[in-house]
Amino acid sequence: MNLLQGLNPEQRAAVELPARSALILAGAGSGKTRVLTTRIAYLISTGQVSPHGILAVTFTNKAAKEMVTRLSAMLPINTRGMWIGTFHGLCNRLLRAHYREANLPQTFQILDSGDQLSAIKRLMKAMNVDDEKYPPREMQNFISGSKEQGLRASEVEAYDPYTRRKVEVFAEYDAQCQREGVVDFSELLLRCYELLSRNQQLREHYQERFKHILVDEFQDTNPLQYRWLKLLAGRNNALFAVGDDDQSIYAFRGANVGNMQELLRDFHVENVIKLEQNYRSHGNILDAANALISNNRNRLGKNLWTSESGGEQLRVYEAATDVDEAKFIVEEIQQLKREGVNLTEMALLYRSNAQSRVLEHALVSAGLSYRVYGGLRFFERQEIKHTLAYLRLMENTDDDNALLRIINFPTRGIGARSIEQLQEAAKMNLTTLWDAAARAGGKVTAFVGLIESLRSATKDLPLPEIMDHVLQHSGLVDHYKNETGAKKREAEERLENLNELINAATLFVHENEDDSLTAFLTHASLESGEHQAGDSEDALHLMTVHAAKGLEFHTVFITGLEEGLFPHQNSQNVDGGLDEERRLMYVAITRARRRLYLTFAQSRMLHGQTNYSMVSSFLRELPEELMHWITPRFTAAPRKTFGNSSYETHSYNAAFAASPIPPKPQPAPDAVWRIGQRVFHQKFGEGVVTDTEGGGNQGRVQVNFKRAGSKWLALEYAKLEAI
């Protein structure tokens, strides 16, 4: 078998590199897995190294298995003994082989995340640590995060009594794990690194053995993983790193894109090969991706290209509302399906999980099968089920399942033994758990009082306001707001989902004559139960952009392209945050093979109220000649109100017309402005009209400017221009 057959010049150059450290900048769809696997096969087949002299590191077990499978097809060798696996898997293997030197029992066990949390709770109880002041999950994040930075408890700086107490728990946790002969996931890498650092003989043994170290997805390595690789590589071994700094999107997990620059310096890398030929997408898609990512700073730099045609222009759709955006997407999917494109070849990508709710509702209404990839359907998410359980119990106190779900969530000091006693009392007296709880006393009685107060306070409120009141007064919002450390990002997503639940209630009121709480709970049950497609069924893919990395589709819809949503508003508060958001958009664009849709809405429901947004700055960074704008004809529907909130929806005519790129700003005749209209002011820049007063040039207008915030302007002097 000719291993090099079919490789392009750059791929072949990477495979045939001499035995020195190298960085392979592998763009999206450029065949990096093939290059990495062929490099291993080439080294073995040319006699440069034996199969046992290779160390290949991946980030997922799936990638490791794929590499082994490909290698087995290339060479007649036994791959079972080869060191190919994830960081954690390889560290586990090394510690098993040297358990005595690592000060571990031969049969040491690995704690998963749930087991680790249970161990921490048990320890905190023994140490009389207040679990309200020091939430166990926060303590878990503190311990794991410290280890991933390469720090033991004795090395963590504690400037105040609060942190010192956390360090004490950290130290005792390590001691407890040592006594019990267990390690958690972050311990595997740290213990392995420490073992090699202090044991020169062992370190030199593995440096002598693994002359060639190959790493996939190098841009995703964290600081400790890079230090571990440097330790194994030593001074003389070849580190063959394959990665793409433009696809580094996991900073929230500790990934450090700067490791690529450090690799060039630390290993004096002379061989940087760029794999720029893309085998996935049409030219216009790649040109858009290149134009976008060129705005990032400190890139190593590459430019994707393809031998295929330019293909279709990117289709850009501006909707009046998020509901209209979803309707448009559904109609396009139905048309593509009629043209012969399978649902499984299409994907809907969104920046935030909360966006899926409107999309799911539209898909269910249209009877289209879908699958949420790497996540749960909206009404099956933990925080949504918790909220619905409060509402169910308020509506029907005989609902034992709802009671059991929330009696101690958020934590209110009602332990497992108390719940067992409730269940025993209910069984003995042939009553519901609620009846037993009403007689229980103590913290259980306080819980009963909470539910009663929620029922009383929301008795005459409209559905969205019931939802809002329950979220605020049940403790759910505060619970997620107080999350810190590694769980903070996840908690922020859960809060977004809770806000989206209020939007769901708002839309339900608008669309249904029976807008009671009972009707909404029935609606939620029906939407959560039957629509997730089976693995073998032809179904549309829904996922966040993060979950889409590594995948590809015939058609991709990138939704919600609005400032504050994508790029996400949190990126403004983090150094390098906007660059990472742009890399995330780059990943999204390069998932598409043939057709790409970019959609956004003038207004989107937020906390039950209409919120007007500006188009994403990323859309403006794409060349005009690559885009085909689709302009809907829509008419305003009657406005409906509840409480102090109001909203409106729009419908559009399917027979939309195409328009060129939006025209440059022009003065509006007679200063007539509509809410949601995008405008430009010479001093304040771009903004969105959020309110108006009066008429003609004698009135005034409120504009939310991107840079300057919200301002009221007199129309006589404002000199606003429409965009």
User: Which residues belong to the active site?
Assistant: 32-33, 216-217, 247, 591
Q: What is the DSSP letter of 475?
A: S
- H or E, element range at 154: none
Pairwise CA distance, residues 287 & 622, whole Å:
9
Tokens of 436: 């037993």
* Amino acid identity, position 483: E
* CA neighbor of 630 nearest in space, from 660, 592, 653, 608: 660
Can you give 524-582 as a three-state secondary structure string?
Answer: HHHHHHCCECCCCCCCEEEEEHHHHCCCCEEEEEECCCECEECCEHHHHHCCCHHHHHH
Residue with tokens 């195409």: 658
Judge contact between 221 and 256, C-beta under 8 A. Answer: yes
Pairwise CA distance, residues 641 & 270, whole Å:
66
* CA neighbor of 60 nearest in space, from 86, 79, 35: 86
Strand partners, 544: 350
Pairwise CA distance, residues 435 & 409, whole Å:
19
Pairwise CA distance, residues 330 & 317, whole Å:
13
Q: Show the DSSP H helices in 16-86 as ranges.
A: 32-45, 61-74
Query: Residues with Cβ < 8 Å from 340, sequence gap 6 or more?
Result: none
Q: Which long-range contacts (CB under 8 A, 24 or more apart) does 194-200 make?
A: 195/94, 195/95, 195/98, 195/101, 195/102, 196/228, 196/231, 196/232, 197/231, 199/101
Judge contact between 523 and 508, C-beta under 8 A. Answer: yes
Pairwise CA distance, residues 28 & 529, whole Å:
36
